[in-house]
Chains A and B, each alone.
Chain A
Amino acid sequence: MSVPLPPGLQLEKFEEDDKIMTLNVGPQHPGSGHMRLIIRVDGDYIVSCDPDPGYVHRGEEKMAEYRNYILNIPHLERPVIHDSCNILYPYVLGVEELLGLEVPERAKYVRVIAAELNRLSYTLYWLAIYGIFLGHSTMFMWPVGDRELAIDLLDKLTGARVTHSYFVPGGIRNDFPANFEDVCIRQVNYLKKRLKTYGDIFYDNPILISRTEDTGILSREDAIRLGTTGSVLRASGVDFDVRTKEPYDAYEELDIHTNVLKKGDSYDRSKVPWLDMLESCNIIKQALEKMPKSGSVRVKLKPNPKGGDDEVYKRVESGRGSLGVYIVSRSKPEPYRLKLSVGSFRNLICLPYLLKGEKLGNMPAVYWGLNYWPVEADR
């Protein structure tokens, strides 16, 4: 009894030509994350690659339509728990515009510090996985250990190690704990020192260079045409960072250097996040110096605040590129529609182009170099 499956459910298609073999990478997380790459290989060379995301779809956007602007906070940060401040950032900025809130100056700086610490902890996690994907287990251990420095600071500041629920429309949940500035400066300085040692063991290591250089080249034109964002875009020579091009909150007053590399291969894509981390350390130190030493950090809200008949779109630079939130309000305490535009999903589209003609062994380097986070892409 062979009932043909309806077209949408057909999982595997075997090629007529038995030279071509189909390989499924994932979705059982052998390093792919919860997603599948359908790769067709001819010997060792990849003929085509078809990314198949959607295994961890959580319906965040729909869920947001049933909760008010405050209660949306805990679930909206779930798509990227390692970068939860940054994924809340555009939402909070959007709701503030809808409700017409003026954020206190100090809160703007604290938000920048929390967002940068979160970027550090996310990128270190990403780097650790990048290292282990390439078989470099030292590069797994070091970032995971050093990540603790950033997580410890976030823990002190927000009260939770990963899902902080820290940003709220109108400011932040709580001010600095006692003595936080000193601890923050000390740990960030040490983290920066540690990050610099990654140069010798990883980025200048000939073994890494020979594995990643000239693999999966994404030209500047293609990077723009495919709509990539974040470190992928900057590795291809495009100078674009939302923090400097459309500064939000306190980023306007800070001096930020955008790291741009020219070649657009896997090596550059792995290096840009590292340079960004060093820059994050500078931003944190600048923000700590420039921030107002006291003042309120949160404006008081009425219970169940309502926005008008309005729409907003806000975007920020997250660890994976520009992250936008579009909110439609229809004079209700809940958003009428909320749409997340995430960096991971936008970067995934270039994977079929990058892997074509590449050796199968280079797949992990190319794939994870995209700074892709499956759960965020599925929302």
Chain B
Amino acid sequence: MGTATGIIRALNSGIKHLAVKRFTLRYPEQKLKFVGDGYQFDPTTGVGIAGYKGRHLLFHDKCTGCQLCAIACEGVAEAIGMVKVPEDWKHNKKAIMPQIDYGKCVFCGLCVDACPFYALYMTNDYELSSFSKEALIYTPAQLQVKPEVQQDAEIIIDDRGAYHG
């Protein structure tokens, strides 16, 4: 192929691209849709349930304060500390529950795999930035709240190309 034909073909391919829809996701107006409600783990079968690994969700009515999640995280990021909660549960005599420092967490989800009581899941919430390091430490009370996540865009592919919509 000659140099001129090559250059024309290269230009042509760029010009054809003008007709292709823009692929960019317009964050924060658009936010990606995820599958499911976040990563979960089923200790009886030993297999997880697919989902996004975002901020954790703690069920106070299930957590026994067994610390297995903190032990798992010890070898990963040391993000989990066990703290006293001012609550009275029959199954949690010591009244301790995990508190997670998102300045350290790497969102591996191994703490979820370690919890044998279905008490710790992950959610689709990924917008955790804050102005101070202290605000990144989520107490058991904060972890209990199920986040509201806007999810409205997914990849659509049609004959004009792929785009987020």
Q: Please choose the segment from A94-102, A262-270, A293-301 that sits at the chain B interface, where 4 or more of its residues have CB less than 8 A away.
A: A293-301
B107 touches A160 (CB 8 A): yes
Alpha-carbon gap, A186 to B159, bound state (A)? 12
Contacts of B34 in A (CB 8 A): 155-156
B7 touches A206 (CB 8 A): yes
B108 touches A73 (CB 8 A): yes
Q: Please choose the segment from A127-135, A168-176, A253-261, A371-379 that sits at the chain B interface, where 4 or more of its residues have CB less than 8 A away.
A: A168-176
Contact of A68 with B by CB under 8 A? yes
Least Cβ distance of B96 to chain A in Å? 21
Contacts of B38 in A (CB 8 A): 159
Q: Contacts A138-B14, A159-B109 hold; do A173 and B48 have CB atoms under 8 A apart?
A: yes
Contact of A55 with B by CB under 8 A? no
Provide the B128-160 mask, 1 if CB < 8 A to any CB of A, else 0.
000000000000000000000000000101000
Alpha-carbon gap, A201 to B6, bound state (A)? 9
Contacts of B9 in A (CB 8 A): 200, 204
Provide the A150-190 mask, 1 if CB < 8 A to any CB of B, else 0.
00100111111001010000000111111010000011001
A201 touches B50 (CB 8 A): no
B53 touches A67 (CB 8 A): no
- Residues 91 to 142 of chain B near chain A (Cβ within 8 Å): 106-110, 113, 122
Contacts of B25 in A (CB 8 A): 148
Least Cβ distance of A290 to chain B in Å? 21
Contacts of B72 in A (CB 8 A): 71
Q: Which residue of B lies closest to A183 (CB)?
A: B155
A300 touches B46 (CB 8 A): yes
Alpha-carbon gap, A269 to B75, bound state (A)? 40
Contact of A364 with B by CB under 8 A? no
Alpha-carbon gap, A160 to B50, bound state (A)? 10
B157 touches A186 (CB 8 A): yes
Contacts of B14 in A (CB 8 A): 138, 201
Alpha-carbon gap, A351 to B90, bound state (A)? 66
Number of interface residues of B (CB under 8 A): 42
Q: Which of B23, B50, B109 is A176 in contact with, Cβ under 8 Å?
A: B50
Contact of B10 with A by CB under 8 A? yes
Contacts of A187 in B (CB 8 A): 155, 157, 162
Contacts of B122 in A (CB 8 A): 159
B13 touches A70 (CB 8 A): no
B10 touches A201 (CB 8 A): yes
Provide the A54-67 mask, 1 if CB < 8 A to any CB of B, else 0.
00000000000011
Q: Contacts A159-B39, A177-B35, A190-B157 hold; do A71 and B110 have CB atoms under 8 A apart?
A: yes
- Residues 54 to 111 of chain A near chain B (Cβ within 8 Å): 66-68, 70-71, 73-75
Alpha-carbon gap, A209 to B3, bound state (A)? 10
Contact of A331 with B by CB under 8 A? no
Number of residue pairs A-B, CB distance < 8 angstroms: 111
The A interface, classified by DSSP as helix, strand, loop or mixed, is helix
Contact of A308 with B by CB under 8 A? no
Contact of B51 with A by CB under 8 A? yes
Least Cβ distance of A188 to chain B in Å? 11
Contact of B36 with A by CB under 8 A? yes
Contact of B19 with A by CB under 8 A? no
Alpha-carbon gap, A298 to B75, bound state (A)? 22
B13 touches A201 (CB 8 A): yes
Contacts of A205 in B (CB 8 A): 6-7, 10
Q: Contacts A155-B52, A207-B7 hold; do A190 and B162 have CB atoms under 8 A apart?
A: yes
B6 touches A148 (CB 8 A): no
Contacts of B48 in A (CB 8 A): 173-174
A73 touches B110 (CB 8 A): yes
Contacts of A158 in B (CB 8 A): 50
Contacts of A200 in B (CB 8 A): 9-10, 12-13
Least Cβ distance of B90 to chain A in Å? 26
Q: Which residue of A lies closest to B72 (CB)?
A: A71
Contacts of A160 in B (CB 8 A): 52-53, 107
Least Cβ distance of A316 to chain B in Å? 21
Alpha-carbon gap, A40 to B122, bound state (A)? 53
Least Cβ distance of B136 to chain A in Å? 19
Least Cβ distance of A95 to chain B in Å? 15
Q: Which residues on B are within 8 Å of A, measured CB to CB?
A: 1, 3, 6-7, 9-10, 12-14, 17, 23-25, 32, 34-36, 38-39, 45-53, 72, 75-77, 106-110, 113, 122, 155, 157, 162
Given contacts A142-B17, A156-B34, 6 further A-B contacts (CB under 8 A): A74-B110, A155-B34, A159-B53, A200-B9, A205-B10, A209-B6
Pairs of residues from A and B, 3 with the lowest C-beta to C-beta distance, nearest first: A71-B75, A174-B48, A200-B13
